Structure 1
Amino acid sequence: MTQQCSNLYFQRIDPSRNMARYYALSIQPTLFGEISLIRAWGRIGTLGQEMSHHFASEADAIAILLQIARRKRAKGYVAKAICGKSPEEAGVVAQDR
């Protein structure tokens, strides 16, 4: 795998609507030489749900990861962790609503 960042964690919190959601994306190698994109989501503080997609190349997985990240930002999710670091530590400006 390349050294490119492949872990993203988003949150969307709106107390007026009793909303506290998270969405996590991670790219990991499988035991069979494929690349998997793991998506986890749910209410903050719960186990939530998880789905994995398998790809032959890392470039395909990264393209889907970026596409999902754009959709989540458009819905109001805010990046809270990128590669295990805060957005500021990772050199990315947090995009608030």
Structure 2
Amino acid sequence: MREHWRAVDAKRNIARDYELLVTTDLFGWTVVERRWGRIGTAGQRNRSSFADCQDAARLVASIRQRRASAHRRIGTEYRRIQV
């Protein structure tokens, strides 16, 4: 599963990119990979592995909730990009 969001507000110089990728590795663990940063840059990345897919689902839900609260935090909302 792959999800991609962007938050853009030219007046406030906001150009953020966030990508979430959920896969299964060769050992059956669920891997959640996140990439974020300013649009057009390499940004940062984080990879977490979970033996229990429910733990991975909780992380994904918290990430989605955090992206949904962006308007309150940064003044503009993240919009989902079709991948």
The TM-score with structure 1 as length reference comes to 0.71
Which is bigger in relative contact order (C-alpha 8 A, separation at least 6)?
2
| TM-aligned CA deviation for residue 71 of structure 1 | 1.0
Q: Runs of 4+ in structure 1 displaced over 3 angstroms?
A: none
Q: What root-mean-square deviation, in Å, do the aligned CA atoms of Structure 1 and Structure 2 show? A: 1.3
Higher helix share: 2
How high is the sequence identity, in percent, across the aligned residues?
34
- The residue number in structure 2 matching 1:39 is 34
Which of 41, 51, 54 is matched with 1:56 structurally?
51
Question: Larger % of strand: which?
Answer: 2
How many corresponding residue pairs?
77
Question: Residue type matched to 1:28 in 2?
Answer: T
TM-score for the superposition, normalised by structure 2? 0.82
Is the deviation greater in 56-65 or in 17-26? 56-65
